Chains A and B, each alone.
Chain A
């Protein structure tokens, strides 16, 4: 007699039948919906900054979601691995949208965009994170995974640093003491901490002592 399935196995079985492509559709709908809200005054009387924030906020949430896939598997055995590429690519697209609203609708001139990148540390940090995401987005396809082999993994570990930069970017632009940016940094650091192999670190420490 076969062993009864665990909850995680049952969930994984169901997820196997769910395709990943609808996530792209949902992402596009969400981006379009936010734009429509901004256009029609539903994001308040100053829609440019509001839209910029909504796109940035969505990107951060997707970043957290993408980083949560591995720990979720480690601790619950539930695997969302097949959705991770879509989560990552959507994150990139929302960062791109965030950047575009900032550059085209908010700052409105190439000279000022460039000046802000050079002069304002929170913009510099955001820009580095955005540039860092580009190679990851470009290699988020099966051909690149095969082609790059072990290096693909190494390349995509860049996202750890990018995530921290993203959170710092948010903290830096807040005025006064605000909880939300700190929550994002806490979540990101927490999710990154689950990846540290404490045991081997400890053993190394002992060996060194």
Chain B
């Protein structure tokens, strides 16, 4: 685990996590472009066309452009990160990702001094995505981070898991992973990264602002209006698995300083 030495959390903490099985991680997904059922992405995502993947980097950067994936991340350090994943729906798993710190990619793009947020966009391939054809959400799926969140060493752009290339249902070929936020922030199959001055529009937040905040930090004390966030169910425990307590920032306390002075109930 390169680069983790700089974190306040001991390296041992991530080794102590027991990852979910490859099967669990790849058959229980939320990827509404491929359907709203948890098993739909595993069934339908094979159709995602990832050949000649390109990512547009634009906005307030020194080196805007549309880059082939190899050019975007080639030469940057790929790291193993075993992270907890906490879904806003109150379930969780542990995923052994491989990825690149987003900071490295942004540094290569050259972030200009007036940039304050990073906006992301998922691919839209109507012919390959049944959920897009059905209009489940207002596609393309968009997400965003504040710049300091994006530059945090825990934030990665994942390209694989279990040392396999990223499975399509998990957001091939490249996706965001922000382990202290609810899973919907970790946008999949990214085709655009924009550096912007204003807080970008994000999909779930714009659809139901009272249910999904822009920050979406994992927080057991702020309930979703339709369910409690105090506890979660770890995937893989079977029919009689018990709930476990949800941890503030999903256990990644080192990010707390990013939110000092913020009212986390109002800016949830």
Contact = CB atoms under 8 A, between A and B. Distances in A.
Contact of A176 (B24, B136, B243): B136
A29 B233 CA distance: 28
Interface string A117-147: 0011110000000000000000000000000
B136 A38 contact: no
A46 B38 CA distance: 9
A37 B243 CA distance: 21
B135 interface: yes
A47 B135 CA distance: 28
A173 B225 CA distance: 11
Contacts of B39: 44
B66 interface: no
B226 interface: yes
A203 interface: no
Contact of A122 (B38, B137, B207, B226): B226
A108 B134 contact: no
A120 B233 contact: no
Nearest to B30: A175
A47 B228 contact: no
Nearest to A104: B240
A43 B91 CA distance: 16
A48 interface: yes
A47 B239 CA distance: 6
A45 B167 CA distance: 17
A108 B243 contact: yes
A120 B32 contact: no
B87 to A, nearest CB: 10
Contacts of A41: 238
Which size bracket describes the interface of B in this complex?
Answer: 20 to 34
B18 to A, nearest CB: 15
B242 A108 contact: yes
A112 B90 CA distance: 14
Contact of A115 (B38, B226, B228, B243): B228
Contacts of A38: 239
Contacts of A193: none
A115 B233 CA distance: 18
Nearest to A115: B228
Given A51-B239, A120-B227, A176-B207, A45 B137 contact: no
A176 B27 contact: no
A39 B239 contact: yes
B23 interface: yes
Given A116-B227, A177-B135, A44 B233 contact: no
Nearest to B241: A48
Contacts of B235: 45-46
Which of A41, A45, A172, A176 counts the most B-chain CB atoms under 10 A from its CB?
A45
A112 B207 contact: no
A120 B225 contact: yes
A5 interface: no
A175 B27 CA distance: 19
Contacts of A112: 228
A46 B28 contact: yes
Nearest to A106: B233
B137 to A, nearest CB: 5
Nearest to A39: B239
B194 to A, nearest CB: 24
17 contacts: A39-B238, A39-B239, A45-B20, A45-B27, A45-B236, A47-B238, A47-B239, A48-B233, A48-B239, A105-B240, A106-B233, A112-B228, A116-B227, A120-B226, A120-B227, A176-B136, A178-B136
Interface of B: 20, 23-24, 27-28, 32, 36, 38-39, 91, 134-137, 207, 223, 225-228, 233, 235-236, 238-243
Given A44-B39, A108-B243, 15 more contacts: A44-B27, A45-B24, A46-B235, A48-B233, A49-B91, A50-B38, A105-B240, A119-B223, A121-B226, A122-B226, A175-B36, A176-B136, A177-B134, A177-B136, A178-B136
